[in-house]
Amino acid sequence: MDNFFLKLSIMLVPGLMAITFHEVSHGFIAYLRGDNTARSLGRLTLNPLKHLDIIGTLMIIVIGIGWAKPVPVNFNNLRSPKRDMIWVSVAGPLTNLLLAILSAVLIRIIVPLTEPVPDSSSLQLFLEPVLLMLSFSVYVNLLLALFNIMPLPPLDGGRVLMGLLPDRLAVQLSRIEPYGMIIIIVLVFFTDVFKYTILPMLGVMVHLLAGPQSKMVFSVTQYLMR
């Protein structure tokens, strides 16, 4: 039980930040492009309680990927619905990518600073949990970004594809949306698509961002996911 709460204390803050910033970015870009729906419902806030989905948050803790309550967007209110749908949709994964980059940069800065510091010092005791949370932040934000760019509605990648396709093909793709989550669950839990597509890309991006500290990111993530 103590081990569970230790892992929870490491995962909760970066996990909530990842899904909260993801959803707020959708609503904020929609607001800039003419849709006031998210703002009028009080969803343009970084208060995670406004976006929390209990099951989605538990999934982050259990398998490292989850979701929040989607920020409502009325695409008909956008100035150019089809074009602006692309920008609204790509905002979420892009935000997660930026959070992963920021976390990786902080890791690269902090780790060399801690090397001459004694393990028992108060500074080391403070920085160790910070590094653990930053490591998980790199992982979870990259995973959310890669997962959400899958070209299948209702994921962000599916909506981007709908915005890029000719109208006739976009309408046909939109018909998949009611069944999209069922298809995604089947793909993730009952096939090797996740293993052979997203995980290899995740590994490459962790190495690219964290560099010499990528081993630490993978070690922390493996510990948390056990």
Please report, for the chain, the start and end positions of each structural domain, with discontinuous segments joined by +.
2-225
Q: Tokens 């949709």: give the residue.
A: 89
pLDDT, the chain, mean: 90
List the one residue out of 62, 63, 210, 213 whose CA is nearest residue 147. 63
* Cis? peptide before 154, omega within 30° of 0: yes
List the one residue out of 2, 1, 8 whose CA is nearest residue 225. 8
Q: Which of 23, 115, 128, 177 is catalytic?
A: 23
Q: What is the pTM of this model?
A: 0.92
Q: How far from chain centre, in Å, is Cα 147?
A: 8
Residue 192 DSSP SS3:
coil
- For the stretch 10-47, pLDDT in tens is 998 998 899 999 999 999 999 999 999 999 999 999 99
Q: Is 23 a catalytic residue?
A: yes
List the one residue out of 136, 158, 131 whose CA is nearest residue 65. 136
Residue type, 132: L
- For the stretch 110-132, pLDDT in tens is 998 887 777 777 777 888 999 99
Residue type, 210: A
